[in-house]
Structure 1
Amino acid sequence: MAWVSKEEIKAAGEMTAIEYLQRYQPQRLKKSSARYEWELTDHDSFKISERTSLWHWKSRDIGGLSALRFLIYVDGMPFVEAVKLLCSENPSYVPAEPVYKEKKAFVLPERYPTWNRIRQYLSGRGISNAVIKYCVEKQILYESAPYHNAVFVGVDEKQKPRYAFLRGIYDKQGKSFRIEQAGSEKTYAFCIPPEEKSVRVAVYEAAIDAMAHMTLEGGRADKYRLVLGGISAPKEGQSHRVMKKPVALEHFLKQHPEIREIELCTDNDFAGRGACEHIKKAYEGSYQMIENLPQIDGADYGDLAKQRAEQRKQCKQVERGR
């Protein structure tokens, strides 16, 4: 009888489902209507996130993260055969050896004298000029030199920059440049502060979502808008586990004891909804939890802001044509 070692099981479990599919079965993937989400050509109700690898087979009501669980529960492969496949030379998969590098000192990218290009880019994403200007004046957003990336800055309690996320404004073949500046500390994520003290913090997955939601709310600076810089969502067989609290939110709450309300504004997709539920369970009882996901399935607030801007543009064109 065939058997596998603990080491083989561990190695097989380290490959994610999206990595396996993109590397060895890309012909089975097709883009879904939601951002960062794919479907299987042979299972229409199957969705998988390219950012988190979380997948959900709606018709069977099962989900997971790893390639191992995918092979067993979606492709019906026996456990031992699936482990052997993922550890074999075809496809070859050997867990990468950790590479330890000395952490670089954090230095902000060079500033460009103006911010006209990022204003044009963000305006095209449906974000109002007032919100862009507010972030620039708070010195948490600027345009970099020489590549004109939008730089979203996270600062500490003394307003010293400790984190930066760079987002390219020129997409190439549907892909854009996105990277955290070397030496960034996730504890100090991008956060839009209110004009006055507030007891509420709204949390988002991305900086553009925070700015887009602020735009949709008429540019109101009446609460903190914190970007989590990554979300924690359910993993296979652990839907009821105690989640790891987001480091950015946990640090923020320690620095702001006046906070009483947490508004959940994650994406309205499988991963975002899972993260929303886990954050709610982690903090309910200590804070008032307000669930405020985008109303359109599969969308984020960036999508909604862009959609509204396009609708307004069409209305103006119709009015000019009268």
Structure 2
Amino acid sequence: MNVVLSIAFVLTWSSGFIGAKLGAGSASAATVLMWRFLPLAVVLAVVALTLTRASWRGVTPRDVGRQSVVGALSQSGYLLTVYYAIQLGVSSGTTALIDGTQPLVAGALAGPLLGQYVSRTQWLGLGLGVTGVAIVTAADFAGGGDAPWWAYLVPFLGMLSLVAATFLDRRTRRPVRPAVAMTVHCVTSAALFTALAAATGGVVPPAEASFWVAIGWLVALSTFGGYGLYWLILRRSGVTQVNTLMFLMAPVTALWGALMFGEPFGAQTALGLAVGLAAVVVVRRGGDASASKEPVTAASAEPAPRARTGR
């Protein structure tokens, strides 16, 4: 996996939790998400009708429908739970921490659902990642917080939504071009979040400048950066490799939150970061070592699909 892409992905994906914290101070989750996606969807739709029309050639209604489901799961379902949890008072680092359990779920399902070989070394790395997450979790709960206990369950729903989107995309036989995927995902999210904001009376944005700073932050860093790199790296390196990087989100976000919002970051969190880094190294080496041992099947002999972006 390209090191530069990996670093960029970790930073830009983590920026989404920070942006959610920025927006939570001035508006509801539905309002922030509506204004994050509605202008972006309009721009992407115009671009699709003018500059990228060639990318849509051969795209069927079934392709659009599948990508709409992927977008609803990976953007709408995932982000709504993240924003709602932070709005309830869960810290940005803790929310990222709970989402960090995604690699274990995805790694466990990669074999039976995708037929991907997961080596013992990779499982060792996944175990290290879970250990790092547990260390940071213990540190966070030791510090206390104002959120109700059930608020910590909300990000788990988003994690499962993203896992479902990941496997649905990987099982797609007809991958679409990046411009098409990004447009469909964002238009789907814009429609869902606009409907939700209208239903909850949150359509009108606040007048605070901080709100629009948060929106700009989320569109530039999180959508085009983190979300796009997620699908790109997924296509290049597979489910186990890309989801191992998710172990780094919690400690990186916790450090970022400490610098920007004064959230606690102690020795335990630093230890969790070190263990998470070790997990990434182990899984990457395990993937390189197992590649030559993996038997060639009809599925593995097929040409690899083109890289496709989509967050």
Task: Identify the structure with the greater strand proportion.
Answer: 1
Q: TM-score, normalised by structure 1?
A: 0.22
Q: TM-score, normalised by structure 2?
A: 0.23
Greater helix share, 1 or 2? 2
Q: Which has the higher contact order (CA 8 A, sep 6+)?
A: 2
Higher Cα radius of gyration: 1
